[in-house]
Amino acid sequence: MAYIGKKALTLVRPFAGTLIAPEASVLLANWEPSAFRGAFYAQELSVLPGTELSFVPFRGRILQ
């Protein structure tokens, strides 16, 4: 998923995939086990205490 906005983005629902937000801050907040799986790229990335984040490398191609 690409986010081209500049306003802060908060994810509270489980998400699996790649998030690219080069000009925004991103907050991950969910207390379900393995709620966030994937790769996360942002200007600033914050993860609330108790939130599980599992890194899964992005294996696709970046569109230009």
- Residue 19 · residue 43 · CB < 8 Å: no
DSSP conformation letters of 15-60: EEEEEEEEEEEEEE---STT-EEEEEEEEEEEE-TT--EEE----S
Residue 42 lies in a domain: yes
Residue 27 lies in a domain: yes
Residue 3 lies in a domain: no
Residue 39 lies in a domain: yes
Residue 24 lies in a domain: yes
Question: In the β-sheet with 9-11, what is the strand arrangement from edge to edge?
Answer: 9-11, 15-28, 36-47, 53-55
Q: What is the pTM of this model?
A: 0.84
Residue 2 lies in a domain: no
- pLDDT tier at 21, thresholds 50, 70, 90: very high
Residue 34 lies in a domain: yes
Q: What would the pLDDT profile of 35-60 be if each residue is shown by its tens digit?
A: 999 999 999 999 999 999 999 987 77
Structure confidence at residue 51 (pLDDT)? 94
Tokens of 31: 């207390």
Structure confidence at residue 63 (pLDDT)? 60
Segments forming the whole domain that contains residue 31: 9-55
